[in-house]
Amino acid sequence: MITTDVVVVGAGPCGLFQIFELGLLGLKSEIIDSIRQPGGQCTELYPDKPIYDIPAIPVCTGEELTDLLLKQIEPFDYGMHLGQEVTTVERQDDGSFIVGTSADQQFHAKAVVIAGGVGSFQARAVRAAGVEDHVGTSLHYSVKDPKVFAGKQLVIFGGGDSALDWVIELADKAKHITLVHRRDEYRAVDASVSKMRSLADEGKIDVFENSKVTEFTGAPGELTAVTIANKEGETTEISADCALVFFGLAPKLGPIAEWGLDMNRKTINVNTETFETTEPGIYAVGDINHYPGKKKLILCGFHEAALAAFAIKQRIEPDKKVHVQYTTTSPIMHKRLGVGD
Ligand code: FAD
């Protein structure tokens, strides 16, 4: 069990900036995200696209903004836990919380900030006959251990970076690879597309474009073949003992909806003075919250994170007045930031 002041659910831009605001007030955080990289929508949905409305940064990409936020929180002693979903938040008798994750990790915190955006990103599922018999055994949505695919007849579905990266990575390790893509244009970087095409030209892999899977065949856990159909409806059966599906990630609100909070459709109602939800000690910032006039913009989430941090500090230290201090001049802030004398 990890003990901390605050658990932040979601490492998107608002969750990352929340760590900064809490750190300035001397509070320690642990941040958790279901995906394997920080940045939320910025890195998952538009890493290379420019953002023009971050104050004092005329332009930066989603990835650059994330890198800058990570740099900004470097002075603080926080913990980051990626690739695990926060599944439970349980209030204790003393008003603190035990937060549990899909990786069976537990955190004990005095407050929780939900910065879950539009939900946790999860792999888009494939739909075809026989899928249920193979998910998790011979059909996977991610690669945990590439060695599992050595010597296998592998079919990889998708046309983005993940699909092509694994085609290239596993080309020499698998017994045979077939790539199946529903279009003939790829979303992966040009270098990967070129590499994949040269592997196909060399006869090292087979590629079926404008095709989609219709059936996974074989006893449960023992895939023997996949059937695909092209646009004309012609079918092809491909021998296979493993399949990898990379249809991208889609956000799902997931367990947050079950934490007993007052919701407004898929968002959480908050008090705009503190950004506290209807549950004392649980706060919500960024795209996940709702209040009159809410705008789902990064700069709005940054403001919300600042006010939530002050409210949390006051909750944790109710007998002390929490003063606003300028980072420019405050010796305490300088000490926390590790700057100056
Ligand atoms: P998110 O970025 O959504 O991050 C939330 C994180 O929480 C995710 O990583 C998710 O995996 C995680 N999470 C959710 N639930 C759980 C759970 N139970 N356990 C663990 N982790 C969980 N905004 C602007 O201000 N300017 C722009 O120019 C702009 N351009 C955009 C362009 C595009 C194409 C898109 C899609 C959005 C754009 N936005 C822009 C919106 C902006 O990206 C969002 O407002 C911002 O990402 C919200 O940040 P967030 O931290 O609240 O949530």
Q: Is 283 helix (H, G, I), strand (E, B) or coil?
A: strand
Distance, CA of 255 to CA of 270 (rounded, Å): 18
Looking at residue 254, its pLDDT comes to: 80
Digit-coded pLDDT (tens) for 226-236: 999 999 999 99
| pLDDT value at residue 341 | 65
User: pLDDT by residue (tens digit) across 78-134?
Assistant: 999 999 999 999 999 999 999 999 999 999 999 999 999 988 878 889 999 999 999
Any atom of ligand 1 within 6 Å of the Cβ of 177: no
- The CA 51 to ligand 1 mean position distance, Å, reads 13
With a 6 Å cutoff on the Cβ, whether 130 touches ligand 1 is: no
In the prediction, which pLDDT does 120 show?
Answer: 80
Q: What does the block give as tokens for 295?
A: 């705008």
Choosing from 41, 49, 268 the residue with most ligand 1 atoms within 8 A of its CB, the one to mutate for a pocket test is: 41
* pLDDT of res. 48: 83
The two three-digit tokens of residue 249, written as one number: 């990630």
CB-count burial class (<10 Å; 0-12, 13-18, 19+) for 283: buried
* Residue 85 Cα: closest atom of ligand 1: 19
Give the span between the Cα atoms of 283 and 275, in whole angstroms: 5
| Each residue's pLDDT expressed in tens, for the chain with a length of 341 residues | 999 999 999 999 999 999 999 999 999 999 999 988 999 999 988 888 899 999 999 999 999 999 999 999 999 999 999 999 999 999 999 999 999 999 999 999 999 999 999 888 788 899 999 999 999 899 999 887 889 999 999 999 999 988 999 999 999 999 999 999 999 999 888 999 999 999 999 999 999 999 999 999 999 999 999 999 999 999 999 999 999 999 988 878 888 888 889 999 889 999 999 999 999 999 999 999 999 999 999 999 999 999 999 999 999 999 999 999 999 999 999 999 999 76
CA of 10 to the centre of ligand 1 (A): 9
CA–centroid distance, residue 116 to ligand 1 (Å)? 8
pLDDT of 10: 96
244 lines ligand 1 (CB under 6 A): no
In degrees and rounded to multiples of 5, residue 284 shows phi and psi of -140, 130
* SS3 state of residue 271: strand
Angle at 256 between CA 255 and CA 262, to 5 degrees: 135
Distance CA 125, CA 118 (A): 18
CA angle 32, 38, 42 (to 5 degrees): 130
Distance 118 CA to ligand 1 centre (A): 6
In the chain, % of residues over pLDDT 90: 87
Among candidate residues 199, 198, 167, the one with its CA nearest the CA of residue 181: 167
Ligand 1 atom 46 nearest Cα: 298
Read off the tokens for 296.
Answer: 């789902």
Q: Whose CA is nearest to atom 18 of ligand 1?
A: 86
**Residue 54 near ligand 1, beta carbon < 6 Å:** no
* Residue owning the nearest CA to atom 9 of ligand 1: 40
Pocket lining: 9 vs ligand 1, CB cutoff 6 Å: yes
116 CB under 6 A from ligand 1? yes
Minimal-distance CA residue to ligand 1 atom 6: 10
* CA separation for the pair 152, 172 (Å, rounded): 11
